Structures are given as C-alpha cells and as structure tokens.
Chain A
C-alpha cells in the first residue's frame, strides 16, 4: 500500500519534466542528448512500450521506483478494489505519462503475463464484490462507467499502437496509418464508451424529456472527449517535439558554424606561416585535437558514453587536457589511449600532474616527434605509461637537468602512495610507469598545493 501511495503523489512532479521536456533543451544540445538516454539510476517515469499488459503503466512505475512490477500491480489492484483510487490513478498515469522510447526492447515472460492477467481479473472481481457490498463509487466504476472505461482503454491502447507504428515507420507519413483491425477496435471502444455512459445516465437519473436530451448531448460530448484524449495529447506532444528538434538543429548549426570558423582561421594561419614547419604542425595538431575532442569526446566514445557517469572532469579528460598542453607547448604528438575513467580525487590529480611532467620530460629530452601515453583504470589502482622511442638514457646516471622527473614525478607520486618505475637505456627510448592506488589518501598539507596547480598551467 505505502509503495503505491508514495508512488502516486510522487508521480505528479515527475510528469512535469516529461511533459515540458522541450524546455530543458534550452540549455543546449548536450542536455537533449543526455536526456534521451536511459539513466541507470532513476529512469524518468515512462510507460513501457514493450512487454506491457494494458498500457505499461505498472511496468513504468516499477522501473522508475526501482521495485518489482508485481508489487506495483498489487498496489494498483488493492487501491482499485478499496475505493476505486487504483483505477483512477492508472488511467491518469496512462493519459499523462508518455511512453518510453521506441528502441527499448523488453519481453514479457509467460509467467509474468499470466500473473498480471490474474491480478487484473482480481481487480475486476474485487471491484464487483465491493460494488455488491454497497460501495457506490466502486459500483459505478465496475458498473456502467466501467464499461465506458474499458471502451476508452481499448481506444487509447489503439492510439498507443498507432503511435508505435508511426515511430517505427520513421514518421514518414503525416497521418496515422490505421489498419482494419485497428478501426474495428476503435469503433468497438467508442461503442463501449457510449453504451457505458448511456446506461449510467439511464440508471442513475430520473428526469424530463428536455433535461434528458440535454444530458444526452452532454454525455456524447464527454464520450467524444474521452475517446479523443490520446490524439489531443499527441498533438500537444508533437508540437513540443517539433519545437525541440528545431532548437536542437539550430544549436547544431551554430556550433558547426563556430567550428568551421575556427578551422578556417587555422588554415589561414597555416598559410601565413607556411615557412615554419614546426608552427604549422602545432596549428594543425591543435585544430585536429579540438575537432576530435568535440566530435568524439576525450576517450573516443562519443560525448558522454551511455551507461557511464558523465565524467566531464574525470581522469580521461584531465589526461587528454594535459597531453594537449604538452603538444601545444612542444609541438610534438601526444596521443593518449585511455581505458576506463574515474572522477578525479587528490591522488588522481597528482597522478595527472606527474604524467604531465613525464610527458614534458619526454618532449624535452627524448628528441622524438611522438610520445605514447596509455592509461588504464583498474579496480584497485590506476596505471599510466608514458613512453617515447627517443634517445633514452641510463637511469643510473641521470643528468642534473632531469630534476623534473626526480622531484615532481617521484615526489608527487610517493606523497599520495603511488609508485614510479622508470625504464630506459641509451638508444632505446624511455618509459615511465606511474601507478596510483585508487584510495590514494591525500595528506592535508599537500592539498592546497595540488589544487593550485590543478588548473591548466603550462609552466614553461
């Protein structure tokens, strides 16, 4: 019971972001995209499209609350039998909550279908019993009004189906394509509604001819309104969706224009500095990086991969930024390959700075055009490998100008419980292996130091 009570009033505010979903895209394209994805934590309230028995309301509520469908169904039935609230809640949710996206595939197991059918039958039976015991509200609902509601349900369900077909057909046709069976179902539903309302009027009211005629007209209007509810709602939603798409596409055009502009500028600069190969390389690489980052995100999974928390300031992003700075400063190629991601903590921040130092070191001393960076996030620790195929050196006899490696890399890592391993020999290039345990505890006195350095600061 309590789950249902908690679910139903709670559902009302949940509906609003859904209905005015077109508002949220004012913030930009990215919002629209992330919103379209199912979030693993609390998915927005949406009726199930696949694997539903009546309208997918119970399933949707269960997905939203993260409880089993069975409990939601039982709650609806209990609320329905003991006063009719369950029926009304179900219908309101059906009307107000939109269906989930068409590409979510579910299956309704046989056992669950039977269980749900049983519960639905129980609801009907329980309602009848309650009516027999003299509960007038329930009596109306399982009586003539129930007939009308069943009719409306048939029509509405048909509307859902038609909507699904329209979406799968890619919305190529302006109108809703309706098959013969669908027409039959809609007509049958309409008849049910009409009969239900008529019986309700005849059974409950005693009146003169004029009053009766007026009421009949009114009832017909109500019936028509009830039957056409899905289409009205669809009209409103389609308008909202169209508006949303317009905003998204104009946003896209704007960003593309900005990018094209920046590419043109780079090309102009390259032409002007064509006698300085180093500068040309730096410009081209910088532009490439910007474009690539924008297109595919820091790790190449697109912007904010699905199923992963958005780690805009995560390790992958930080490493990519550090590599970009080194590229820009030393006009070499640093292409990080990152497997996994994790939000930055103090230990990881130190790791990023140490990695940056190692990259700078390779860029300065290895005399190569390319440095490989590989980052792997594991359950217990994070590994970074910075490798070059440059001139190499003998670690036993590090020249004095290589203080950078000794101090900032070693010092940073050990302060946070990490380790550094250096491998190199003359002529063989060098590889720095940094390892940071994931619970790299940060000593308090180091924190201000780290956070000060954390923003982008090429110290050269």
Chain B
C-alpha cells in the first residue's frame, strides 16, 4: 500500500512474553514496509527504550506486570505525542480493551491477527487512523447504546454517536474492512476514517465509561 521508496515504519514491541515477541518480530520482518527497531519485556524497560528510540509505532501488550500497557501509555503519551500506540492483546475482556483505548492507544487488535493484517494495522495507525477490531467495535456500540441500564448521556457531543458513526461501527463489528464499509455506505474511505477517528475520540473522552459496569466487574483469577 505504501509508495515505493518511503521509509519503513519503525515499530517497537512491548510484551512480557519473549516467545510472542520473537514471533511477531519474525512475522513483521517479512513485511518490507515495517521494521522492528526494538523490544521490551517490562513497563520500565519499554518507557526507557521508547524514549530513546522514538519509534513510529509501539505495539503494546495490555497485560503486563507493573500496570501493563495502560501504564506505559500513562508515562509516555504526554511527552511523546507523535509516537502512536497500538494495543495488541490476548484479552478480549471489555474492561481491558476499553481501558487501553482510553489511556490513549490508537487501536486494538487481538494477538491471533495474521502477520499481514498486523502490518496493515501498523500502517493504518501510523497514518493516523484508528484500528478497531470487530470486538472493540461491538463494545463501543454497546456502551453508547441507549438500552435500559446504560448510563444516561451527559454531554451529547461526546456521549452520543451519530447515525453514520453507528453505521460504520456496525459494519466494523460485522468484519468489514474500511474499503468495504465505504462501498457499502456510498462514502469515501477517507470519510469512513473520519467517522472512526471521531468514535475513537468519543471513546477516549466520553464519561459514559465511568460506569460501575467496568469498575465493579471483577474477573476471577
């Protein structure tokens, strides 16, 4: 997708499982437009190395000792606004997904993603567009729904989705790619991206998430 001659995207891996890091590294190294510049296995290591290396994209594990991906984001986001974070996790739990998005990640993909799709997701977040897995789209739809039991909207600008955004999210949840969504809704890919960015912003800023639902949900183990 990138034009020939452009610099490869510099990617940094953060995951506490060395086996998984080497797997992702091997897969991404096969893709020409992406190069892995470093990896870290803990929050402190990651913070120091990202500060030093200034990669384009950081692939961030959600679950790590010492606070996980959200903690890395908390420490690095304010000082490095140009570094893009993409969460990569085995966890499918709403609280994890939403927490890391709200901490500032530009997207969320699950670890079962193929190497090619991962490279594509990296390229997409690098160019500023969010990456929503179908699951994440489903969660966001659920949170913004007006089903009984949902939190009432406070600020309508932030707490409600427009009809178009809802349509786009639905198609994302149905497994459509941006291009397919554009075709389906008769809009340009750029417009789809704008809608998804706006949904991401609302997801990060709306306080419909300060719900007891995620706070009081306790997982076992």
Write out the residue numbers on chain A whose beta carbons fall within 8 Å of the beta carbon of B97: 300
Binary interface profile of B, 182-217, with partner A (CB < 8 Å = 1, else 0)? 000000000000000000000000000000110011
Cβ B135 vs Cβ A302 within 8 A: no
B125 to chain A minimum Cβ distance, whole angstroms, is 21
Cβ-based interface call for A447 (8 A): no
Are B175 and A302 closer than 8 Å at their CB atoms?
no
Contact between B213 and A305, CB atoms less than 8 A apart: yes
Interface band, chain B: 20 to 34
Q: Evaluate contact between B212 and A296: CB separation under 8 angstroms.
A: no
Q: Are A374 and B219 in contact (CB under 8 A)?
A: no
- Cβ–Cβ < 8 Å partners of A387 in chain B: 174-176
A103 to B215, CA, bound (A): 10
Least distance between B5 CB and chain A CB atoms (Å):
31
Among the stretches A15-23, A145-153, A336-344, the one at the interface with B is: A336-344
B residues less than 8 Å from A103 (CB atoms) = 216
Separation of A299 and B213 alpha carbons in the complex (Å)? 14
Determine the distance from Cα of A374 to Cα of B141 in the docked complex, in whole angstroms: 12
Contacting residues, chain B, for A235 (C-beta < 8 A): none
Complex contact A302–B218 (CB within 8 A): yes
The reply on A335 being an interface residue by CB < 8 A is: yes
Question: Are the C-beta atoms of A295 and B217 separated by less than 8 Å?
Answer: no
Check if B80 is an interface residue, CB within 8 A of chain A: no
Does B95 make an interface contact (CB < 8 A)? yes
Name the distance in Å between A27's Cβ and chain B's nearest Cβ.
Answer: 15
A58 CB within 8 Å of chain B: no
- Give chain B residues whose Cβ lies under 8 Å from the Cβ of A339: 138, 141-142, 145, 173
- For B138, the chain A residues whose CB sits under 8 A away are 337-339, 374
Q: How large is the interface on A (under 10, 10 to 19, 20 to 34, 35 or more residues)?
A: 35 or more
B77 close to chain A: CB less than 8 A: no
Docked-complex contact B212 and A307, CB < 8 angstroms: yes
Known interface pairs A292-B92, A296-B93, A372-B175; A306-B221 also in contact (CB < 8 Å): no
Residue of B nearest to A284 (CB): B112
- Across-interface contacts of B176 in A (CB, < 8 A): 387
Contact with B along A385-397 (1 / 0, CB 8 A): 1010100000000
Q: Across the interface, do B174 and A385 meet the contact criterion of CB distance under 8 Å? A: yes
Known: A33-B218, A255-B220, A292-B92. A372 touches B134 (CB 8 A): yes
CA distance in complex: A414, B149 (Å) = 31
Whole-angstrom distance between the alpha carbons of A299 and B174 in the complex?
A: 15
Please list the 3 inter-chain residue pairs (A to B) with the smallest Cβ-Cβ separation, ordered nearest first.
Answer: A372-B175, A337-B138, A302-B217
Write 8 A-B pairs (CB below 8 A) sorted by A numbering. A33-B220, A255-B220, A295-B219, A295-B220, A302-B217, A339-B141, A340-B145, A385-B174
Q: Which residues of A contact B (CB under 8 A)?
A: 29, 33, 36-37, 40, 103, 252, 255-256, 292, 295-296, 299-303, 305-308, 333, 335, 337-340, 372, 374, 376-377, 379, 385, 387, 389, 431
- Residues on B facing A (Cβ under 8 Å): 91-95, 97, 112, 134-135, 137-139, 141-142, 145, 147, 149, 170, 173-176, 212-213, 216-221
